[in-house]
Structure 1
Amino acid sequence: MDLLTTWTGSSAAALRQAFRYTQIEFARHLGVAPRTIANWDTTPTLVPGTNQQRILDTALRMAPGEVQARFRLLNSTAGISAPSFVPAPRDQELDDMNRRELLRLFSMAGVAIAAPPWDDELDVQRVLHAGRTGRVDHAGVDQFEVLNSHLWRVFVLAPSKAKIYPLVQDHLAVLVRTLQHPNGPEFRQRLCALTADLFQLAGEIFFDGDQYTDAAHCYTLAATAGKEADAFDLWACAMTRHAYIGVYERRFDKAEPMLDLALRLARRGDSSLCTRHWIAAVQAETWAGLGNLNACQQALDQAELVRDLKGPVHNGGWLRFDGDRLAEERGTCYVTLRRPDLAERVLTEALAQELSERRRGGVLIDLAALGLQRGNRDQVVSYGDRAVELARQTGSKFIARRLRGLQDQMKPILGDQRVGVLNANISSLITSAA
């Protein structure tokens, strides 16, 4: 099948641009003509197909060479060798090895962030004059920033987030190693900000893989590095991500005070950014979990104010909130609050929008849960079946986890044959995913 008919349009162009490949390079690695890539870049529609995963996998296999090339650009300024690529974990032994490496980076980063390797400016000058490796200049740090941004874009595009973890780990190792060397206060502040940024990305990868303890460690170090960088928005976002683990685990009483602290930090940050509004959206979920409708609605209204901001309100990396998900998030809150009268219209409108497969799966499951609350078994089965099919097609762990939560809620009506079949299909899906 012609790849042009299986994956065309802006998503293909976004993938190529995220990896910063020319049309010719992308064509060569994918085995298609350069004119095909040019057509992808200009075709406005996305045509899903069975080869979509193959194309992305091919691009991800190209990624190590891209990282190697970027680090080679740094050699002349930073004295840093390109890291070796480690394949994505495929068994328990590699999982354990990667986790040990992560813990090693935790230990080293904690010291490097908290204890600068110089006593005074004279010591800095002496060490730099001696030509110690690890020194970076503006161009070197700029390249670090480019690579951070590159990795976030790959993370957003990749259906399997774990695939990019080896790249993130390699770059984290370089940042931590660079922090151990004296580079002066200005560069150290920028390096701390980049470290905070990348630890948040590592945390997102672990969170997506249900490794919440490792994710929490990453967010803790990200918060510490953000503090050292004097970057209040970055610090607040790390706190918010950490708090969201509590929201996801329905430990709302633990999340609420963390979000309050994150909001205090955000108020000291850049008022043109959406940080405060994103925190409000997460607070709304927390208040919904705590059963406080008024506080939930007030938080949602605060989050909606993101639409009043002008200019670029996020950076597409550690800060990505723009309010486009607020309809479905509002619906989720109302389902949690067991207010089907408020949730039905919001979720139906959200489902009519252009949504990613992951987001569509979440809305379908919320609508199925709404059927449970109303005693409408037809609605439960209809939306539940659609969510199961979507999970099978995409292999999304997120949709599978949400379906597992729906399964728990269905226990009182498992005597219904149709609900029993849906329950069995969810069990089969979860087993396959595991």
Structure 2
Amino acid sequence: MGPRKALMRRWKALGYSQERLAQALGVDTTTVGRWGRGQGEPQAYIRPKLAARLQVTLTELDELLKTEAPQPPEPPSTYGPQRILGRRAKSDEDLGAGDLEEMIRRAFLRVLTITGTLAALPLSSEAAPADHTLTTLPNSDVMAYSAMNSHLWQIFALAKTKRSVLPMVHSHAREIANGFAAARTERDKRQLCAAVGDLFQLAGEIHFDSNNYTDAAHCYTLAASAGVEARDPDLSACALTRHAFVSLYENKPRDAASLLTAAAEAASRGDRRLSTRYWVAAVQAEVFAGLGDLTACRRALDQAEDVHGLNGPVRTGGWLRFDGSRLAEERGTCYVKLGRLDLAERSLGDALGQTMSMRRRGSVLADLAILGIQRGDIDQLVHHASQVLDLASETESGYVLRKLEGLQGRLEPLMSDRRVSVLNDQIITLAMTG
């Protein structure tokens, strides 16, 4: 028996480490390790869940589980380098959609790493030729970078399939990287770092929506660092807050709490005209709900409500998008976690009465379906969950699918009802094909 390289490549391409995949499947890390080494087989009951996490069919999973016999070393050849160089590279036409997506992802992360490194390097006149006069990067260039960032955020907000925006973000990241090569002053550097911090947060959102938590966390980390280099505490605070969502959705509220403590500290040093500190409070409320602390949760939600007391228009674009309009659904999510059905239904009902994106609507409906489970009301469960299934299919959103998977984990006590078992099968099928 040999290693299952295709299986390991697949889980890494989707952003899973061995530990994270094990956690998602509810098995021991060493079990996943044995699968990868070809020393064990996933049991029958775990295969549908593994296929769903790897976004493959059961037939495709069987292919991934085939082991590879160890290959004997090739005899040395004096023509080795020429033979390697002579191989024909794959063209775009030769590559499948999955290969292309993986190429884009790796290229994108490479650009992020390069740009993040450049952002952290001190500028010195010694970096320029002796006969070169140091000049400021044209302000029009920086404004163009920022304007493009704003445009990409708008495209992201409107896109049904969020990952379709990634190639455009990748291309723009390369342009900003080129801008660093032309930067000659600390002011240039700070302005470019601000643009980088903005774009990294958008990249993180795309990966987060696709359930690629590792890549999302990487992007948010770089965004927070870029905010520090830009001397913009609000930018860093928002990146830390987004990073906290990764821990929240991995069911690690204490890890999220430590990130939010840092975010709150950064926000306290930021622009008091911005809503940053109120957004931090709203996300802290969800952490307190996850920890079962109703009093602290309510206190944080009340603090978040103070956003409505800001003077003038509240910023709602780019990396800071909190204006308090989502507080009803955020309250509902918190109360669902706390098992306060009366409070949750009232807040979620208020949220459904507002104009919202399909992703947000899917989230609210999923919470209402969970309320149906908590009440034992199968009609409510099926009614709302069916709408979430339709939205997940239409948007191809990993975020909405994740809400469905969380819902599925609660269905077991009601599986004797045929409607619930059908719903369970529909969620599994969508997860396998999504």
SS in 1 for 2:272: coil
By how many angstroms is 1:106 displaced?
A: 3.5
Indicate whether 1:235 and 2:252 are aligned.
Answer: no
Kept after mapping to 1: 8 A contact 2:278/2:304: yes
Indicate whether 1:291 and 2:292 are aligned.
Answer: yes
Q: Quick one: distance in 2 between partners of 1:200 and 1:179?
A: 19
By how many angstroms is 1:218 displaced?
A: 0.8
Kept after mapping to 2: 8 A contact 1:117/1:181: no
The equivalent residue for 1:210 is 211
The equivalent residue for 2:262 is 261
SS in 2 for 1:180: helix
Q: Quick one: distance in 2 between partners of 1:293 and 1:271?
A: 28
By how many angstroms is 1:166 displaced?
A: 1.4
Question: Which deviations, in whole Å up to 9, do the C-alpha atoms of 1:377-431 show, x marking residues without a partner?
Answer: 2221222223223333444433222111111101121011221122122222223
Q: Quick one: distance in 2 between partners of 1:395 and 1:291?
A: 32
Q: Quick one: distance in 2 between partners of 1:162 and 1:390?
A: 16
Distance 1:174 1:416, change over 3 A: same
By how many angstroms is 1:315 displaced?
A: 4.7
Kept after mapping to 2: 8 A contact 1:128/1:182: no
Tell which deviates more after alignment, 249-258 or 161-170: 161-170
By how many angstroms is 1:143 displaced?
A: 1.5
Distance 1:154 1:389, change over 3 A: closer
Distance 1:223 1:280, change over 3 A: same
* Structure 2 letter corresponding to 1:141: V
* Structure 2 letter corresponding to 1:250: N
TM-score after normalising by structure 1: 0.74
Aligned pair partner of 1:129 in 129, 133, 145: 133
Distance 1:349 1:140, change over 3 A: closer
The equivalent residue for 2:305 is 304
Aligned pair partner of 2:116 in 106, 110, 114: 110
Question: Which deviations, in whole Å up to 9, do the C-alpha atoms of 1:119-171 show, x marking residues without a partner?
Answer: 57xx769564289xxx7211221212211111111111111122221121121
* Structure 2 letter corresponding to 1:170: S
Q: Quick one: distance in 2 between partners of 1:357 and 1:107?
A: 33
Q: Quick one: distance in 1 between partners of 2:306 and 2:296?
A: 16
Q: Quick one: distance in 2 between partners of 1:296 and 1:184?
A: 45
Q: Quick one: distance in 1 between partners of 2:310 and 2:377?
A: 41
Distance 1:374 1:264, change over 3 A: same
Kept after mapping to 2: 8 A contact 1:288/1:336: yes
Indicate whether 1:423 and 2:424 are aligned.
Answer: yes
Kept after mapping to 2: 8 A contact 1:237/1:262: yes
Indicate whether 1:91 and 2:100 are aligned.
Answer: no
SS in 2 for 1:95: helix
The equivalent residue for 2:21 is none
The equivalent residue for 2:201 is 200
Higher relative contact order (CA 8 A, sep 6+): 2
The equivalent residue for 1:100 is 106
* Structure 1 letter corresponding to 2:102: D
Q: Quick one: distance in 2 between partners of 1:275 and 1:173?
A: 28
SS in 2 for 1:311: coil
The equivalent residue for 1:322 is 323
By how many angstroms is 1:355 displaced?
A: 2.9
Q: Unpaired segments of 5 or more residues in structure 2?
A: 1-91
Kept after mapping to 1: 8 A contact 2:210/2:399: no
By how many angstroms is 1:318 displaced?
A: 0.4
Indicate whether 1:151 and 2:152 are aligned.
Answer: yes
Distance 1:386 1:160, change over 3 A: closer
Matches within 5 A, 1:13-412: 91-119=97-125, 126=130, 128-129=132-133, 136-412=137-413
* Structure 1 letter corresponding to 2:139: H
By how many angstroms is 1:100 displaced?
A: 2.5
TM-score after normalising by structure 2: 0.74
Distance 1:380 1:315, change over 3 A: closer
Kept after mapping to 2: 8 A contact 1:351/1:360: yes
* Structure 2 letter corresponding to 1:105: V
The count of corresponding residues between Structure 1 and Structure 2 is 342
Identical positions, percent: 48
Kept after mapping to 2: 8 A contact 1:116/1:182: no
Question: Which deviations, in whole Å up to 9, do the C-alpha atoms of 1:299-345 show, x marking residues without a partner?
Answer: 11111111111223225000011111111110110001111122121
The equivalent residue for 1:13 is none
Distance 1:90 1:382, change over 3 A: same
Q: Unpaired segments of 5 or more residues in structure 1?
A: 1-85
